[in-house]
Chains A and B, each alone.
Chain A
Amino acid sequence: MTVISAKNLDLTFQTNDGPVHALKGVSLDIEKGDFVSFIGPSGCGKTTFLRVMADLEQPTGGEITVNGVSPEAARRARAYGYVFQAAGLYPWRTIGGNIRLPLEIMGVPKAEQAERVKRVLELVELSGFENKFPWQLSGGMQQRASIARALSFDADLLLMDEPFGALDEIIRDTLNEQLLHLWERTGKTIAFVTHSIPEAVYLSTKIVVMSPRPGRITDVIESTLPRERPLDIRESAEFLAIAHRVREGLRAGHLDE
């Protein structure tokens, strides 16, 4: 089943310095259960593309459907959870309170709220932190809490915009591993924006390489790596071959200019 289908998508921002082509002729299908990474230099439109899927930006041309309907209908149906680059937890709410926020807004009954909070905290390995305030947690833990918040209302689609971009590499490795486990256990479809080649290759079933001015897709790589991925798979020849192809794609995008 196709979760996201984009055909010939354009998005042009009108700025004081003239039009900026954030997306030009972008076509892509994401199937259910895929883990798709978007990689490219800044300005390549990877975040914009994600925001279009989430109905946070409006395309100026082309077509896109999410779960077979328009992004707006999908958003109204609460079809996806969105994770931003910053955790953005409310400082006046506990971790549990932050995770309850979408549930309260969506009118989930109280008893079920408590049960779901408990479950997603287990998923991101933060059990026992429910009553802590955000400032009592490290940056990595805060980001995990924000992922738990996005998981709490059980949307099948997870949109993640450089969720680990602000964290150091050691924490990043751990979180990447945890994210893979989580994806395996929940069977969610994940669209993941990153600018780290190893991160993209390690996580994805499909890697979308993008390049700027205008923002477009230059390569789509189907990963041949097994679904079971220990961290040391990153030293295997297969991994390095895929990473090499991603790097080539990024370089080609640059040479075009």
Chain B
Amino acid sequence: MKSVLPVLTVVAVILGIWLLAVIPMNMHLVADQAQRDGAMVQPDTPVARQEYSGLGLALRNPDLIPLTYQFQRPRLPSPQQVAGEMYDTIIGQNITSRRSLVYHGWVTLAPTLLGFVIGTGLGILLAVGIVYSRVMDRSVMPWAIVSQTIPILALAPMVIVVLGSMGVQGLFPKSLIAAYLSFFPVVVGMVKGLRSPSAMQLDLLRTYHASGGQGFWALRLPASAPYLFASFKIGISASLVGTIVAELPTGARAGFGARMLVGDQYGQPLVSWAALFAAALTAAALVGIFSALERVTLRRMGMAAA
């Protein structure tokens, strides 16, 4: 709980910058609209106004400043507009409605979770292979690294389109992209964790004439727990990003990614911003859940200090 104050401070600073930025960002649009509505604006032609910065224009027309916070199609929406849109679409709508962000959130969350499970399972299996097999260590690890250098934005539409042409649609293709992003941190963390026991601890098992399997279950696996949780937290957020990216270029009609794209394409920035914040809150909640699981598990394992 010690982190509450610092976090709130950072949030306050960001909000402050945001609130200030709204004025110059929207000033030209507001001035144009105000003039159309018959108000007196300085200077009085759009071309002349282009000579001024947003801030300069605001100083010359201070009475227009309040309007920048409630403009209908702003360049930068104000925090209260985004909050209002989120309130309206999260609480104000039936959750089965297409206008509901909860509905879109679930459309994104389901493949995120499935992809995370696939990616984590694959990551753990690969890590075990890499630690126990020299051949896999040499062959798989470089490819795992290379796989993460391919821009996911380029790869996602190909995967979706190819799978779509094969008749695979809906949840699974998105999960695949999510899994593609989330397996890597799990491989890296798990390999490090499985290799964390010291030579002395491995020697000790040797003096007991322990089998490889016994060494894995008794020593390597529990030793990797702290590393695994760190990987989970990175993996689950990567998984969410992967799903959203998979929703962007494919004409998906639902999900956070689709909402961001729709907002952009139809000039409804509030829709994009609300989806963006909802996605960020979802990621924070997922990471928070894994942090709590980590604390509980490590405490039960007697490694609370870790």
Question: Binary interface profile of A, 78-122, with partner B (CB < 8 Å = 1, else 0)?
Answer: 101110101010111110000001101110000000000000000
B204:A88 contact, CB within 8 angstroms = yes
Question: Which residue in chain B gives the minimum CB-CB distance to A136?
Answer: B302
Say whether A82 contacts B207, CB under 8 Å: yes
A92 pairs with B301, CB closer than 8 A: yes
**Binary contact track B188-211/A, C-beta < 8 Å → 1, others 0:** 000000000010110111111110
On whether the beta carbons of A75 and B302 are closer than 8 Å, the reply is no
Name A51's closest neighbour in chain B (CB-CB).
B203
Which of B203, B208, B305 has the most chain A CB atoms inside 10 A of its CB?
B208
Q: Decide if B280 is an interface residue (CB 8 Å cutoff).
A: no
**Interface range, A side:** 20 to 34
Whole-angstrom CA separation of A194 from B129 in the bound complex? 40
Cα distance A55–B203 in the bound complex, in angstroms: 10
CB-defined contacts of A91 to chain B, threshold 8 Å: 301-303, 306
Whether A185 is near chain B, meaning CB under 8 Å from some CB there, is no
Among B237-263, those with CB < 8 Å from A are: none
Contact B207 A88 (CB under 8 A): no
A105 touches B210 (CB 8 A): yes
Q: Which residues of A contact B204 (CB under 8 A)?
A: 82, 84, 88
In the bound complex, do residue A102 and residue B302 qualify as a contact, i.e. CB atoms below 8 Å apart? no
B209:A76 contact, CB within 8 angstroms: yes
Interface-located stretch among B4-12, B217-225, B227-235 = B217-225
A135 close to chain B: CB less than 8 A: yes
Chain B interface extent, by class? 20 to 34
Please pick, from B206, B208, B302, the residue contacting A92 in the complex, using a CB distance under 8 A.
B302
Enumerate chain B residues within 8 angstroms of A134, measured Cβ to Cβ.
Answer: 302
CA distance A86 to B204 in the complex (A): 11
Task: Check B214 for interface membership: any CB of A closer than 8 A.
Answer: yes
| Interface SS, B side | helix
User: A56-B203, A56-B206 are contacts. A105–B214 as well, Cβ < 8 Å?
Assistant: yes
B208 touches A102 (CB 8 A): yes
Q: For residues 288 through 302 of chain B, which have their beta carbon under 8 Å from a beta carbon of chain A? A: 301-302
Knowing A84-B200, A86-B200, A105-B218, say if A92 contacts B207 (CB, 8 Å): no
Across-interface contacts of A239 in B (CB, < 8 A) = none
**Interface pair B198/A88, CB less than 8 Å apart:** yes
Which chain B residue has the least Cβ–Cβ distance from A82? B207
Query: From DSSP, what is the main secondary structure of chain A's interface residues?
Result: loop
Query: Is A23's beta carbon under 8 Å from chain B?
Result: no
Q: Which of B201, B214, B302, B306 contacts A88 (CB 8 A)?
A: B201
Given the known inter-chain contacts A101-B218, A104-B218, A105-B218, please indicate yes or no for A88 contacting B200, CB distance below 8 A: yes
- Is A133's beta carbon under 8 Å from chain B? yes
Given contacts A56-B207, A75-B206, contact A90 B214 (CB under 8 A): no
Identify B302's interface contact among A78, A93, A153, CB under 8 A.
A93
Complex CA distance for A81 and B204, rounded to whole angstroms: 9
Q: In the complex, A57 Cα to B201 Cα: how many Å?
A: 15
Bound complex: CA A176 to CA B306 (Å): 33
Residues of A within 8 A of B198 (CB): 88
Residue with the highest number of chain A CB atoms closer than 10 Å, among B200, B204, B225, B303: B204
Chain B positions 165 through 193: 1 when the CB is less than 8 Å from some CB of chain A, otherwise 0: 00000000000000000000000000000
CB proximity of A94 to chain B, nearest CB, Å:
7
Give CA–CA (A42, B230) in the complex, Å: 40
B residues with a Cβ closer than 8 A to A are 198, 200-201, 203-210, 214, 218-219, 222-223, 225, 301-303, 305-306
| Given A92-B303, A106-B209, A135-B305, 20 more pairs with CB closer than 8 A | A55-B206, A56-B206, A75-B206, A75-B207, A75-B209, A81-B207, A84-B200, A84-B204, A88-B198, A88-B200, A88-B201, A90-B218, A90-B222, A90-B223, A92-B302, A104-B218, A105-B208, A105-B209, A105-B210, A106-B208
The 9 lowest CB-CB distance pairs between A and B, nearest first, are A133-B302, A92-B301, A82-B207, A105-B210, A102-B208, A105-B208, A92-B222, A76-B209, A84-B200
- A residues sitting closer than 8 Å to B (CB atoms) are 54-56, 75-76, 78, 80-82, 84, 86, 88, 90-94, 101-102, 104-106, 133-135, 153
A sample of 20 inter-chain contacts (CB < 8 A) reads A55-B206, A56-B206, A75-B209, A78-B208, A84-B203, A88-B198, A88-B204, A90-B201, A91-B301, A91-B302, A92-B222, A92-B225, A92-B303, A94-B302, A101-B208, A102-B208, A105-B205, A105-B209, A106-B208, A135-B305
